[in-house]
Amino acid sequence: MKKQYSKYSLFFIFTFIITIFFSFNIWKKNRIIVDAPSYYTYLPALLIHHDLQLNYIDANPAYYRDKVWYYTIENNRKLIKHPMGISVALSPFFVLGHLVAKMTGNAQDGYSMPYQNCMSIGVLFYLFIGLYYLRKILLSYFSEKITALTLIVIVLGTNLLWYATFEGLMPHAITFSVWCLALYTFFQWLKTGERKFILFFSTLFGLIVLIRPLSIVTILYFIIIGIYSKGSIKSFLHFLKPNLKNVIVGSIIAFCIAFLQLVYWKYATGHWLYDVYRDEHFVFDSPQVLPFLFSFRKGVFIYTPILIFALFGMKTFYKTNKGIFWSTLILMCLTVYLLSSWWAWSYGICWGMRPMIDYYALLSLPLAAGLQQVFEKSKIRALIFGSIVFLLISLNLFQTWQYKNGLIHYDDMSKEAYFKGFFQTKYSIEWSDLLKPYDWERRIHHLPPIDYSFEFLKETKEEVYLRAMNKMYVFVNSKAQNAMAALSQGNEANEEFFFKHLGDNKFVIHSKEGLFWSLKPAYENAITASEISTGLTEIFTFEYLDKNDNKIAIKASNGKYISIGTKWPYILKADADKIGKNETFRYFVWGK
């Protein structure tokens, strides 16, 4: 009897995920985090408060501050930012959670643990239904072993694992799963022409668009697949002719499902179409394709390197199945262009490039083909690449643990921080100093990111922030005679400074209030922002420590380097003879 390795792999994945849930006590922790409150708000608003205008939060704004996201729009109305698809998908499990909360005496507010746990069960339900049908698709092309390996790689070798567990109430695991079902039903329709499959596909496609409106472009993938599966455009149209009525009915179903979002916008705003991302937008003339794919900040192939096998598989499909090759290539090129054109192309607080998770189902076929290509040539080659796959899965699991523990930053990673912290299991100031915030304000105003250099430092007229090696920002302490200290954690007005280049490496520095930095020998060589004019004690020498970095040291007129010392309150004093950790600063420019 043929061994069903792919079924064993599903059991292994299920056991692994359940183990994670209980090992990390996920079932006790809040999962309505990051963007999830916005995707989720529809459910408690409609099913508990019967108020999609969100007026109920006015009775207790402090309680709902972190639970409900909304924009205040015209006439002081409230608008939910994100689309409702995830709320629709999870609604049966929300109702179950409501009943469980009542039976167990928990708060029936939509946010207590019975709701969250029932919806996490819902996410896993979608995930394993999706994987089950993805298995069926893969078995149409590949062996049991390759199918089993592909399923394990997709879940344990990528950031899908994180978004199925720790942040399961974000949309990505569900979207991935719905795509798996949509692929299966579409392929079955092409194969059999049965009415039920095109209607199932249309329902699923409508839900996908309701979850992620940008996904509407994926219809190109299915059109191309359909054309190649029938041999030509003419043959595909010939196939469509007797199925036209079903296609029209399916299109109406998909439209009606996606139309729910427009109904909400009309109800909430008075307009059928409304720009919910009014402060955010695409920058189509400046797509960040290479950083999106390869940067150490969040690059797809840096943090999900196992996807490199999908590139190998594309070569295989070019020879064996042009339909899958061209549909995948065209869709992925278009998708990467669109996703990398978003103003915040790294997508904020997230593990890896999270919007790509939605497309892992579509990438599963080339991924499996790539694995087949390297595993079925010879035993030695299989052993070598088997070891590589094992190491890449292990790397993903380890880095997922690092991300959970703050050892991979959610948005500020750099190449230096990546390699410095590659094996780290404990937080260190030295690692965190290598993090580099991205100037998203410049991006949204169509300005290129700053290329930090000494020449830039000499020429900049913009506000500059100085971060010391204790990870605190330098600020003016107005309560201590404007003494400078490295004690602030954010970019506030009293942390903004302006540099004026005087020639050579000489600078004067003044605060936003126009007060110049000054050396005060009478106060143990402390630095203050207190002078309205400049003299010798207001002139500082800058030393750029690395031409490829933004680290500087600052020397005062007494010939000593400015240091933050080793103890609180980290007052800036010009008392160091040489440059060390406490004499090193990073400068950043944010905003327009």
398 and 456 belong to one structural domain = no
Q: Is the pLDDT of residue 492 over 80?
A: no
Task: Work out the average pLDDT over 442-458.
Answer: 83
- Give the pLDDT mean for 156-181: 97
The candidate with the shortest Cα–Cα distance to 348, out of 268, 443, 431, 424, is 443
Helix (H) or strand (E) holding 191: helix 172-192
Asked if residue 300 is part of any domain, the answer here is yes
Residue type at position 520? K
Same domain, 244 and 133: yes
Cα distance between residue 140 and residue 516, in whole Å: 72
State the Rg of the chain over Cα. 28
* CATH number, domain containing residue 460: 2.80.10.50
85-94, 307-316, 345-354, 486-495 — which is least confidently predicted?
A: 486-495
Among 369, 403, 437, residue at a domain's last position: 403
Tell me, yes or no, whether 70 and 205 share the same domain: yes
Give, as one character, the DSSP assignment of residue 453. -
Q: Are residues 168 and 284 in the same domain?
A: yes
Question: Are 275 and 393 in a shared domain?
Answer: yes
pTM above 0.75, yes or no: yes
Backbone angles phi, psi at 528, to 5 degrees: -125, 160
The answer to the question of residue 437 being in a domain is: no
- Summarize pLDDT for 387-398 with one digit per residue, the tens: 999 999 999 999
Indicate whether 349 and 227 sit together in one domain. Answer: yes
If asked whether residues 124 and 272 sit together in one domain, one would say: yes
Domain that holds residue 557: 447-588
Beta bridge partners of 498: 510
pLDDT (mean) for 247-270: 96
Separation between Cα atoms, residue 351 and residue 186, nearest integer Å: 31
Residue 76 lies in a domain: yes
Residues 395 and 455 in one domain: no
Residue 358 is assigned to a structural domain of this protein: yes
Q: Is 462 exposed, middle or buried (0-12, 13-18, 19+ CB in 10 A)?
A: middle
For the chain, how many structural domains are there in total? 2
Answer with the one of 403, 431, 466 that is the final residue of a domain: 403
47 & 178 share domain: yes
188 with 308, same domain: the answer is yes
Q: Residue with structure tokens 């719905």?
A: 178
Q: Could you tell me if residue 516 is inside a domain?
A: yes
Q: Which of these three, 368, 403, 438, is where a domain ends?
A: 403
Dump pLDDT digits (tens) for 64-100.
Answer: 988 998 889 988 899 999 999 999 999 999 999 999 9
Do 474 and 347 share a structural domain?
A: no
Q: Rounded to whole angstroms, how far apart are CA atoms 208 and 206? A: 5
Co-location of 326 and 461 in the same domain: no
pLDDT at 1 over 70: no
Residue 414 is assigned to a structural domain of this protein: no
Residue 568 lies in a domain: yes
Q: Which of 184, 189, 195 is nearest to 230 (CA)?
A: 189
Q: Do the domain assignments include residue 435? A: no
Query: What percent of the chain shows pLDDT beyond 70?
Result: 99
Q: What is the pLDDT of residue 493?
A: 66
